[in-house]
């Protein structure tokens, strides 16, 4: 029987590895591309969700991390470090375990979801909560990697982008060609950079007949690219994309401009509405930041920017279980019943 071997083995000829590279994998990638019925009806388009929460640590970061940790191991690193809003740290911690390495993670104090903190802790990462935001954490991680024996595994490390571009390959492999539009949330802007690279490579090699327009969405309180200036004190309930000075800013602009795309913002209210729609109407439970892609698509559709009949893929980047507070918040408390079928049936509205 065959199982998916992980992105490095599946796309080996398109990644910077050699026959002797020690592959560190949790068999990431190969994630579901799920047709989204309600979103398709609302937009008059054929909408698919690339469900990246199905990766081993519950986010798309695993695609980049298998590459980053593999290459760090090949180069003899004993320890890795990253700055993170939570998902990168969870992924780095897990892959470091596989590689027999020490992981150090820097997170903004009080601003990462509980599930992500739990992952870093249980995988044995050395965690520092920094009295600052993600951008401060990244500055610190860069300084440490330059001056101490520890390899940086943030997406400023180009092999992270190489790994993450495989999501675009999978989409084209599944659909038979590139979609018309690709929508995704933007934080540090590594992922939009990676998808654009993947789509361009497939088009250049004739695997796809063209490339999609790239549509990126930031949270309104953390939208430096939309505003055209650094946001000093970024805020949003979507903590994964609470970033005021994205490292891959220029690459995101290039993806937008070269693809004829757009980068816009969505409010926390729009994010939460899309989050609830995905769970309640599509059966897909994502974390709030992930819903920014869908919120953006719905906003664009309401503005008349989405011509019907197009094929659209929205990446939903992380699993809802990472940050369940938002699922519970505002929902009615379940009713308690005795062990009695008649009462239970009545409370369930079955009679």
User: Which one of the spans 123-131, 182-190, 270-278, 300-308 is the region binding ligand F0G (CB under 6 A)?
Assistant: 182-190
Asked if 81 contacts 102 with a C-beta cutoff of 8 angstroms, the reply is no
191 binds ligand F0G (CB under 6 A): yes
Strand runs (DSSP E) across 168-310, as ranges? 181-185, 213-219, 262-266
**Least gap, CB of 82 to ligand F0G (angstroms):** 7
- Which of 163, 198, 318, 320 forms a contact with ligand F0G (CB under 6 A)? 318
Instruction: Report how far residue 151's alpha carbon sits from residue 26's, in angstroms, rounded to the nearest whole number.
Output: 20
**Least gap, CB of 139 to ligand F0G (angstroms):** 14
Instruction: Report how far residue 115's alpha carbon sits from residue 240's, in angstroms, rounded to the nearest whole number.
Output: 12
145 binds ligand F0G (CB under 6 A): no
Q: Which residues are bridge partners to 28 per DSSP?
A: none
Buried b (16+ CB within 10 A) or exposed e, 3-21: eeebbbebbeebbebeeeb
**Least gap, CB of 2 to ligand F0G (angstroms):** 29
259 binds ligand F0G (CB under 6 A): no
290 binds ligand F0G (CB under 6 A): yes
188 binds ligand F0G (CB under 6 A): yes
User: Which one of the spans 17-25, 183-191, 195-203, 256-264 is the region binding ligand F0G (CB under 6 A)?
Assistant: 183-191
Place of tokens 């993670």: 105
Please identify, using beta-carbon distances, which residue of 133 and 155 lies nearer to ligand F0G.
155
Instruction: Report how far residue 238's alpha carbon sits from residue 259's, in angstroms, rounded to the nearest whole number.
Output: 26
Asked if 192 contacts 161 with a C-beta cutoff of 8 angstroms, the reply is no
- Which of 55, 85, 157, 245 forms a contact with ligand F0G (CB under 6 A)? 85
187 binds ligand F0G (CB under 6 A): yes
55 binds ligand F0G (CB under 6 A): no
Asked if 154 contacts 83 with a C-beta cutoff of 8 angstroms, the reply is yes
3-state SS class at 151: strand
Q: What residue ranges bind ligand F0G (CB under 6 A)?
A: 59, 61, 84-88, 155, 185-191, 240-241, 287, 289-290, 317-318
């Amino acid at each position: 029987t065959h199982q998916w071997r992980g992105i490095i083995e599946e796309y080996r000829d398109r990644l910077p590895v050699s026959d002797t590279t020690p592959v560190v994998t949790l068999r990431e990638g190969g994630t579901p591309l799920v047709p989204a019925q309600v979103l398709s009806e609302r937009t008059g388009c054929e909408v698919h969700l690339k469900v990246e929460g199905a990766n081993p640590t519950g986010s798309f970061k695993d695609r980049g991390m298998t590459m980053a940790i593999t290459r760090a191991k090949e180069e003899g690193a004993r320890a890795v470090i990253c700055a993170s809003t939570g998902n990168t740290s969870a992924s780095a911690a897990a892959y470091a375990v596989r590689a027999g390495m020490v992981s150090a993670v820097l997170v903004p104090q009080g601003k990462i979801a509980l599930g992500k903190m739990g992952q870093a802790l249980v995988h044995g990462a050395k965690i520092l909560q920094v009295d600052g935001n993600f951008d401060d954490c990244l500055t610190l991680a860069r300084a440490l990697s330059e001056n101490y024996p520890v390899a940086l595994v943030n997406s400023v490390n180009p092999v992270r982008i190489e790994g993450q571009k495989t999501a675009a390959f999978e989409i084209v492999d599944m659909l038979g060609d590139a979609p018309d539009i690709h929508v995704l949330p933007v934080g540090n802007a590594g992922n939009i950079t990676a998808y654009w690279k993947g789509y361009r490579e497939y088009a250049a090699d004739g695997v796809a007949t063209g490339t999609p327009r790239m549509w990126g969405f930031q949270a309104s309180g953390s939208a430096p690219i939309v505003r055209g200036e650094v946001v000093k004190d970024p805020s949003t309930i979507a903590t994964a994309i609470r970033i005021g000075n994205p490292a891959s800013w220029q690459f995101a602009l290039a993806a937008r401009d070269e693809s004829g795309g757009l980068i816009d913002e969505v409010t926390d209210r729009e994010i939460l509405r899309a989050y609830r729609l995905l769970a309640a109407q599509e059966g897909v439970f994502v974390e709030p930041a992930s819903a920014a892609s869908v919120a953006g698509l719905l906003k664009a559709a309401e503005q008349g920017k989405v011509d019907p009949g197009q094929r659209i893929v929205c990446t939903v980047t992380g699993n809802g279980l990472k940050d369940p507070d938002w699922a519970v918040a505002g929902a009615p408390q379940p009713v308690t019943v005795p062990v009695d079928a008649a009462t239970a049936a009545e409370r369930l509205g079955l009679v």
